[in-house]
Amino acid sequence: MTDAPFTVAYTGDYLGPDGRLAIADIALDRYDGHPAITVDFLRDLAPTPDDKAYQERLYSLEITPQHVASAEGIVVFRPWVKASAFAEGAERLVVIGRAGAGIDKIDLDACTENDVAVYNAPDTLTHATASSAFLLMLALAKRLPEQERMVRDGRWDLQPVTMGLDLPGKTLGIVGLGASGRELTRLAAPWGMNILAFSPRASEIEAAHLGVTLVASLDELFAASDFVSLHNRLDATTRGLITAAHFRRMKPTAYFINVARGEIVDQAGLVTALRDHWIAGAGLDVYEHEPLPKDDPLVSLPNVILTPHWLPSTRDAARLTMTLIADGMIGVAEGRIPATIVNPAVLERPGFLAKLARFTPSDPPE
């Protein structure tokens, strides 16, 4: 085994204002027994006790050239990795681990051009994400927020006008039949729902095996569904994909759920649909701009459930994610390539291979 030193730097948004871990278990114990690996944090990306505006900047934090120069591996939670991060090159940095599935905030081309491999945790949040969508669907169907307010406000007289829905026989429309979309079908199957999906790359055979009917267009899916749930990834083809016109096609009794990415949706169009009762309601964990401003129109609407891009962030999912990320870093520190590389072209670049070779054990003498 090589003894070449390897520093792993976690982004500072894992820390609280006191400098301690804000998330208790990020699998740092996985590095025990690997003395060549040093774990640190990019502390200038962490909150400080007197920084009242930190939460407003949380989702706009960025990796800088100084960060790139500080470690062999960087674990990214929320910050962006833009081309500007490589303004001074990346002679030292070998790998970036994205602690989650989404890679829309990482410039993969810039990483590849600078001989930096990127890997993610594509499946560790699959159940947590799908079950969050199912939770929102069930809460909306049962009108849970209104039911709770009735008790808190002593308005039991509102019982007759606050009646929810049952799921059997209703139609669930899923946009994106990837991992979390498929998991949602598994969760919904025992509830006797009709399940549709719009997913251009999905196999009809696989869909049929899942009990899902593929539809040819988003228009068809939105018009036919009692619940529409987004599970597609954010990229250039899906940004702004869902527009006011889609909400206009929905039934006035239907609900919209988004646990994917806020930028997939025209949020102003969604606000109009909710305010003017084109649809019955929505459940949202993600937004066009995050954190969602306190004065955003969504906040004042009574027919929407809002959660802070955190609903799938369970302790179980976090442990799975961070274990995979730590093990990937350990692998690179020992000259191995993580299994979940998302910019595979980097593996053919001499510059990356030379970096990795610094950590590849030498053949034992004969």
**For this structure, is 30 an active site residue?**
no
Q: Cα separation of 364 and 366, whole Å?
A: 6
Phi and psi for 251 in degrees, rounded to 5? Answer: -65, 150
33 backbone φψ class: left, alpha, beta (φ>0; ψ -120 to 50): left
Which residues, in sequence order, are CB contacts of 236 under 8 Å at separation 6+?
none
For 346, the token pair is 């980097």
Beta bridge mates, 117: 95
> How far apart (Å, rounded) are the C-alpha atoms in residues 263 and 364?
52
Q: Alpha-carbon distance 356 to 358, whole Å?
A: 5
Q: Could you tell me the maximum CA-CA distance found in the chain, to the nearest angstrom?
A: 86
Instruction: Provide the sign of the torsion angle of the four alpha carbons 11, 14, 15, 16, taken in this order.
Output: positive
Active site includes 290?
Answer: yes
Give me the catalytic one of 290, 319, 336, 358.
290
Catalytic residue among 98, 143, 261, 263: 261
- Helix%, strand%, coil% for the chain, nearest 5: 40, 15, 45
Entry field: residues in the chain: 366
Of 338, 354, 313, give the one whose Cα is nearest residue 8. Answer: 338
Beta-carbon contacts of residue 95 (< 8 Å; ≥ 6 apart): 72, 73, 74, 116, 117, 118, 119, 328, 329, 332, 338
Q: Are 133 and 257 in contact (CB under 8 A)?
A: yes
Q: Contact, 145 vs 125, CB < 8 A? A: no
Which residues are tagged catalytic? Answer: 261, 290, 309
